[in-house]
Structure formats: C-alpha cells, structure tokens
Amino acid sequence: MWAGPMAKQLPTSRPVIGTPAPQSHGFVRVVALVASAAAIVSLAGSWIPSLWGDEAASVMSATRSLPSLIAMLGTVDAVHGTYYVGLHFWLGLFGASPFSVRLPSALAVGATVAAVMLIARRLASTRIAIAAGIICAVVPRVTYMGAEARSSAFAAAVVAWLTALLLDLVHRHNPGRRWWIAYAALLAVGIYLFLYVALIVVAHAVILLTVRTDKAFLTRWVGSVAAALIAATPVFIWALLERKQIAFLGHRDEITFPKLAVSLWFGQPLFATAAWALIGCALAAAVVVWRSNTLAGLKGQFRKPRLDVVAASWLIVPAVILIGSNPVVPVYAARYLSCSAPAAAILMAIGLDRAVRGRTRPLAALLLAVVLCAAPVWISQRGSNAKNNSDFADIGATIAAHASPGDAIAFDESVRPSRRPRLAMHLYPADFAGLRDVTLDFAYDAGTSWYDTAYDVHDAAAHGRLDGVERVWLVEYAGPAGAHDADALALETLGYMAVAEYGTHRSEIQEYVLPGTVG
C-alpha cells in the first residue's frame, strides 16, 4: 500500500514536508515497536482508576444479552451501539475487570500511533515519523482515551487510518475501485463507532483543496463519501431521535480559554505550553515555506500533500465545527475531539524538527523533554479517582471490608444516573456478594434503560423490603445537603441507628443497625 517511487526532491538539506519517502522493512519494524510501546503506555496502570459513569454505561450495556442490548439501543445510546456490541463479545471472552474492559482501547491507541507514523513517513521523513509516534503515545488526551472503556480510541484509530488511506489514494492518482470502496467502508464503520468521525470528511476536503487532483478523482472521492454517509444514515437518525441525551452539554461552561488551550488535548499547563509552542513553530514554518514557494513560482510543489497541512486540517477543522456549533446546538465536549489528538502530535513533531533544524541529537533531547513533560499528566491519570473523580472502586472495597452476607444495602438515588453509587455494585459485583439490594425496583437488564430504577428507603420500607432486616448499609453521594438526606432520616424513623461511617472520595457509607442487634 505504501510502495511507490519517490517524488522529485527540492534542493534542500532536509526532507520537504510533503515529499513521499519510501517505506522499508526496517521502518515497519520500528512502527511495530513504537506502536506496541504506545499501547503499553496507555495500558500500564489502567486498572487503577475506578471505572466511572460513562464506562458504567459501556460495561453494563455490553454485559447484557444481545436481545436485551438491541432492545436498549432502540431507546438510548444507539450511537454507541457498535462499540457496545463489540465490547459484548470481548467481555464474553475476557471478563469485565477494569483491565479487561480498557485493554481494547489501549490496543486501538497502538493502531493509531502506527497510522500516524506511516503518514509522517510518507509525507516527511523517518525522523519526523518516529518523533510523531513517540509524541502521540504520550499526548495526555491519547493516554486518557487509551485507558477508558469508551469508543474514543477506536474512533481515533479509524480517523488516522482513514487519513492514511486518503493520502494513498492521492498518491496512486488513479486508484482502483477497491480502494474507494475501502475508504467508504472505513468511513461508515467509523461513524457507526462514533458519530463525529464524520467531521473528518470536511478536513479531508480541505486537504484535497491543496492537492493537484483531476475532476475524476474528486468525483470518486465525493461518491465514496456519499456512499458512506448513506450507509450511516441509521446512526444519524438515531442521533437525532436521542439528541436529548446530550442536552446537558448546553448547561456546561466548556468553551473557555484554559479548557480549550489545556484540558482539550494536553491535560496540564506545562505540557500544553510545550505543545502549543511546537505547534506554533510548525505552523509558522509552514507559512514561511508557502510564501517562499509562492514568490518563487513553485506552485506545483506546495500543491502536493503536505504533512503540516494534513495535520493542521485534521486538528483544526473538526474543532472549529464542533465549538462553533455549540452556541446553537449543544454538541461539544472535550472528549468528542479525541480523534484530533494524533494530529497535534504530528504538528509537535514537525515543530521539533524545525526547531533543531533536522539535527538528530538535539531532536532526541527535545523529544525526551516532551515525554518528561507528559509524565506528570500520565501519573495523575492513573490515580484511583482520576476518572471524573469516580470512587466506585472505593465504595466496593469499603463494603467488602465491613459488610457481611445477609446485610441489606441501599443507595442514594437522588443524583444523576452516571453518578449514582449503585453503579458500584454492577462494576465491582464481587464486593457486594451476599448482600440484599432492598431498594431495587427494576433491574436495568430487564428493561430498555442502561441503569436500574430503584425506590428510596421510605418507599422500599413501605413495600416491606426492610422487614426482618437488622443491618443496612446506606451509600450516599457526598454532595450538598439535599434529597439524599431523606434516606438517613427514613432509616432513623424506622428505628435504625447509625453505628459507623466511612468516607470515600465523594461518597459516604453508613452502617445502620436496629438497637439490640449485634454490632
């Protein structure tokens, strides 16, 4: 796929960003090594952070029976259905431990890094390709999605390989029909995995505007895109019907300078400062080259695929569309632009190469500095409560350490579904073995929602759920005083007395017993 003659080089000591470099078996081995290392970086420590609300939706959906899952997708989360189905079969083979459910995402990061390196080698040099691969492996948004049981890492892999395929199509000039079918199929699969993969089409259009192609090529590209979008029509319809699921985004203040400049892709200010400095260097160099070529009349040279143009389009275009649309329709969250993080790595690699003027040793030194800047972010991502401050694992560990078989357990149901402490019981079921769920009304896998419906303590008692119960464990979300306080009051009204309390990161666990029973 990557074989082909070298384009004529300009007389310069460094590779032109946009001149194809030949592939070799040695480079393929380097790609395999760096991609494998990237997967390991994402996977390492991935089992430490507690699973969080969105991952609960993934795991609980994927552990349903297929008929139950399909029924659920008819009412909620249809846009994630392809990922859930794939995860269903994965968990059937490897179980639902935090390590297992996050492993596929780490593997997807490895695939993403491989595509990034092939793109950079094709359009620039081995040196830039290796730097881009290493940087991509440690970009905070990449290491975050590589340790999360969601579809973001897979979407990023699809976008990266789709971009690699586009460049191959351009290089072939007159590719056969099978290559166009492959492009359309990969785009459609990507949209089914994650709806916003469709945004890369606009970025690809921008790339093609800078490339000397004939009308027949553009017609085939438009036809392939149209075929993919038609094939993905069901997911667009589902997204429209279920749009209320993300209506809450309209109430969040996500579009601020610190969040866009730091949190979006780079995690912490130190890494963000280094990243934007290198990206700025790459873009500034691109402008200089463009102006120089224009003044020299070398229009044919800068109209070939250029790595800086490809990466800038990939990084900027989806972001502009989502962020620009958000004031009208709430469609933006930082994680929705995870697909663009690999493009940032490519631009950073170009910036590094430009900064050191292609010298290998200074490049290696600066590359090491970038990796060291990323290390604190990676460490923070591996904390026990790193995922959205979730403490479901802590809840499970506390219950396992103190509760006894036959005890009853009740959960705070007053907070939004993704934060309900009840999720801990489904994510870490071994910790709750032998306990009586006295507030459950309707189990999630018996209906079409991804979460249980449950009574509060007062209603559970009215239904006789607490009859004969001597000890109750109450797990509450530790927020401002509010509706969940009613559960503690209800237990006290029923004659229970609090005898112990345990605090986790954002939850409170209280042990209630009837007077006269064994403590």
**Residues 6 or more apart whose Cβ sits within 8 Å of residue 92:** none
pLDDT score of 296: 63
pLDDT score of 16: 46
pLDDT score of 9: 39
Phi first, then psi: what are they for 470, rounded to 5°? -95, -30
The Cα 482–Cα 258 span in angstroms is 31
pLDDT score of 25: 81
The Cα 434–Cα 506 span in angstroms is 25
**Residues 6 or more apart whose Cβ sits within 8 Å of residue 113:** 34, 35, 38, 39, 133, 136, 137, 342
Q: What ranges make up the beta strands (E) of 52-162? A: none
Tell which residue, 137, 130, 132, has the closest CA to residue 108. 137
Task: Look at strands 408-411 and 507-513 and give their pairing.
Answer: unpaired
Cα–Cα distance list, 15 to 120, 128, 352, 360, 513 (Å): 11, 10, 14, 13, 75
pLDDT averages per 10-residue partition of the chain, 519 residues: 39 48 81 99 98 98 97 93 98 98 99 99 96 99 98 99 97 89 98 98 96 91 98 94 77 88 96 98 89 64 80 98 92 95 99 93 97 98 97 98 97 93 98 98 94 96 96 89 76 96 96 81
Tell which residue, 276, 388, 392, 380, has the closest CA to residue 335. 388
How many CB atoms neighbour CB 177 within 10 A?
9
The Cα 94–Cα 13 span in angstroms is 51
- Numbered ranges of CATH 3.40.50 in the chain: 392-513
The Cα 108–Cα 348 span in angstroms is 21
pLDDT score of 244: 77
**Residues 6 or more apart whose Cβ sits within 8 Å of residue 497:** 512, 513, 514, 515
- What's 8's DSSP letter? P
Position 350: which residue type?
Answer: I
Structure tokens at 458: 């007062």
pLDDT score of 295: 66
Class of domain 392-513: alpha beta
pLDDT score of 11: 39
- DSSP β-bridge partners for residue 226: none
How many CB atoms neighbour CB 75 within 10 A?
13
Question: Angle at CA 251, nearest 5°, toward 333 and 414?
Answer: 100
CB 491, CB 457: distance < 8 Å: yes
Tell which residue, 72, 137, 189, 179, has the closest CA to residue 446. 72
CB 457, CB 410: distance < 8 Å: yes
Residue 157: helix, strand or coil by DSSP?
A: helix
The Cα 148–Cα 327 span in angstroms is 28
Radius of gyration of the chain (CA): 26
Angle at which helix 177-193 crosses helix 215-231, to 10 degrees, equals: 40
